[in-house]
Amino acid sequence: MPMDANEIITLIKAALPDAKVEVRDLAGDGDHYAANVVSEAFRGKSRVQQHQMVYQALKGNMGGTLHALALQTNAPD
């Protein structure tokens, strides 16, 4: 069963409450998304660490229910 964009946003915001999250369905199939996540929690972290934080927030759905997620992560300006 595909994952809804709102579910992705909810999971990320639960783990990173201050995050500004934008999610786009790239293929219209509920399996391929792009997300832009901005959170103060990313400050001082490498891009890999930032992405790992988002994957952890998705609680095991990455690679299963959610097939592909193109991520852009940043700390606020």
Query: Using CA atoms, how far apart are residues 4 and 27, in angstroms rounded to an integer?
Result: 13
DSSP-derived 3-state class of residue 43: coil
Listing DSSP states for 31-75 in one string gives SEEEEEEE-GGGTT--HHHHHHHHHHHTTT-BTTTB-EEEEEEE-
Looking at domain 5-74, its CATH class is: alpha beta
Query: Using CA atoms, how far apart are residues 60 and 3, in angstroms rounded to an integer?
Result: 12
pLDDT at 29: 82
> Facing residues of 34 across strands?
24, 70
pLDDT tens series, the chain, 77 aa: 678 899 999 999 999 999 999 999 998 888 889 999 999 999 999 999 999 999 999 988 887 778 889 999 999 99
pLDDT at 75: 98
